[in-house]
Chain A
């Protein structure tokens, strides 16, 4: 049992076996094959015939020039052939990236050498072809010095029946992605029956039955693809003679475990037939297996979002304060996503998915693991990177399950050219231009302008100006967002629920005379600072988007005007450091927001009415 499986609290998950049938929501741990991996130089099972082993494990594997361009790739097997760049042109030498496990040969860069002759051989090659600008043939390697024989090439678009490996002139359909994905190609050359079998990632693509003596040559050349972006060579292993199929599986698995990142849990999204062509990493298998949660599960109503600003307030007395934002990502966003009506099988898959999220690959050597790309609910983004924090699973009856997951989005509240924006789906927010048409109440527009104070989000409220339900547009300049008779607003024009609850604490100081009495004292000026919650229940998707965009644009700390309801009716200045949104049902949203009164003016020239100035 793999460490992945043993780390889950779910039973009946096994490693992928291509001789099995699978049903939707079945879970597998994909590890290329179910056998063990074996280092190429391990001889505990007997002599293997290892004669060549090029790897990127150590700087000692390479010869470099003063520019750290590769002039030689040295064989780990002593006494065997090495690969060199003979060309004196620096640009013809390959690049080595010391942070990576490969050398790249692009354009006309080449490595070649001799001493690899063998009539029968097993050659395992781990490499990655960078997506080319065209899909013509690229040479991965060649044996011998001919121009058309002894070649392994790749060509075609990255799709089934187009992508091909080519041995001399015989083409074989690739079964896995050939570009920007790591591949293990194994050639099994048997001179006794003149057959040359080719395998891609453990799957036999076919047999080249008429190979010539070039394939027995000791001359080996890598690269040389003028005009192409390159091939990344990770490792080359060469055995003379023959190996049995178990040994080949073991060496392929060694390469797989070392280089592949697409191992781990996969979930069946269809009934999966038998056969390795249906394994998760093949073109065909991608229609059957997935790691994408959005392929498997759909969010239910009741899902909610909450935002809170990370602020450090500074108080100045007399009810004055300012908010210091902690970094540019002021807003923290959390989502309570609900998956309801799941069958037991679906719940099992989702719980396993949740438990396995920390096993996701790291973003880089310097960052943590990658989050879950989640399609959020209206009006938030699709494909938002989130981190699953906790899960609640409840079941009211047999085969009916409800799962709540709390997820946090870390990177989505960031500054971009449109100013502060977070997770709202930008495709629903249009940029206003002179030719924009079709306006409806609560439509949100971004207005670009060189004038900083005019740039930003505007809300169409033409209805309030007597323009019925909307306008077809384009609008006259005076009705534009910055026009004299604008149909747009930047104010908080939304009406809260008729039910509201406002409580107020007067700001006073007390002096406590022990064993006697208390004395209350005025705490400077402006003792009445409101802090209250406003709610917007049962709002349409359009109005919810407008409210959320307004709050999101204020980023948790910007000040705006708010008119208190009856009987207060006074317009005060507030900021909104946190709010919640629940998608109750189609066109039915509930939003609650905390408003805190802010006494300073939000113009740049703030004046403290009680400011004390010292004079000399």
Chain B
């Protein structure tokens, strides 16, 4: 019978820091193109770019987020990941998202690009002692105490739920003769919020509606774990009502995150 590797608690580390993940997905993509020659035959398959992998993970927020997961921040350095005994040396975070639903624990989803070769065949099952000795987190973010301020949201009163997504493009730059990039920059950084509320106030204008809001993620005991600031525009409003139900509105808020150049 074929052996399937079993995981009870997912061991996932980023830059040696433990993350309590409940899902990890890993994929590798080689971009190749066939080379067809004049006599009609296939000469070879040629690489069009580097091996690019994708790694995504869902994890519980058990403390403040490290700087390297600040997608819209200036830190663009590579991250080292460890999963199932396999180390991935060239991870680059490109999106972070979460949803806050009433009374639900908050699960963060993060996506990475990664480069280089990986000894995926070395994936190992956890030992029983590793599982048993894994420390439990002291804090877990929950929607119960978490909040989104509406002071800067003109007309928005009771927010029922909200979700947050920050993302950026990660263009990779290579030296000739190398397949692992020397730099993976950040480009087109943006943050988005979707929210549901009882009211949205005035409708948006052609240039949207200016919004400033703060998302605070806390655990059940009101310990603040992470704060997100969004200063952008509301660019979409939606009103839903069904027979016998309440009016429920939803809106999207968008922020293009920029960095002012400093004189060099």
Contacts and interface: CB of A to CB of B under 8 A. Distances in A.
Given A301-B174, A400-B187, A500-B38, A586 B182 contact: no
Interface in B18-76: 33, 35-41, 43-44, 46-50
Contact of B264 (A344, A377, A583, A587): A344
A538 B33 contact: yes
A386 B173 CA distance: 24
Nearest to B36: A498
A345 B261 CA distance: 11
B96 to A, nearest CB: 20
Contact of B37 (A301, A377, A497): A497
B185 interface: yes
A172 B55 CA distance: 59
A565 B41 CA distance: 13
Among A300, A496, A500, A585: residue with most chain B CB under 10 A: A585
Interface in B165-184: 171-179, 181-183
Main secondary structure of the interface of B (DSSP, over half): loop
A356 interface: no
A397 interface: yes
B243 interface: no
A378 B182 CA distance: 18
B264 A585 contact: no
A299 B261 CA distance: 25
- Interface range on chain B: under 10, 10 to 19, 20 to 34, or 35 or more? 35 or more
Contacts of A500: 38
Contact of A538 (B35, B172, B188, B261): B35
Given A398-B261, A583-B176, A538 B185 contact: no
Among A348, A377, A498, A565: residue with most chain B CB under 10 A: A498
Contact of B43 (A495, A565, A584, A587): A495
Nearest to A587: B47
A385 interface: no
B258 interface: yes
A396 B173 CA distance: 13
Nearest to B38: A565
Nearest to A589: B46
- Interface range on chain A: under 10, 10 to 19, 20 to 34, or 35 or more? 35 or more
Contacts of A584: 48
A299 B178 CA distance: 11
Given A539-B46, A586-B178, A588-B48, A341 B36 contact: no
A340 interface: yes
B263 interface: yes
A498 B38 contact: yes
Contacts of A299: 175-176
Nearest to B37: A495
Interface in A550-567: 565-566
Contacts of A586: 47, 50, 174, 177-179
A303 B177 CA distance: 12
B259 interface: yes
A603 B182 CA distance: 52
Contacts of B187: 396-397, 400
Contacts of A588: 46-48
Nearest to A541: B177
Interface string A345-381: 1001000000000000000000000000000011000
A190 interface: no
A613 B183 CA distance: 70
Contacts of B263: 12
A397 B189 CA distance: 10
Contacts of A86: none
Nearest to B169: A397
A64 interface: no
Given A300-B176, A537-B35, A12 B188 contact: no
Given A378-B177, A538-B35, A565-B38, A397 B188 contact: yes
5 contacts: A301-B174, A303-B176, A378-B176, A495-B37, A586-B179
List 6 tightest A-B contacts by C-beta distance, closest first.
A341-B173, A538-B46, A495-B37, A498-B36, A298-B175, A565-B38
Interface of A: 12, 298-301, 303, 340-341, 344-345, 348, 377-378, 396-400, 495-498, 500, 537-540, 565-566, 583-588
Given A397-B185, A398-B259, A586-B50, 5 more contacts: A12-B264, A298-B182, A498-B40, A586-B174, A586-B177
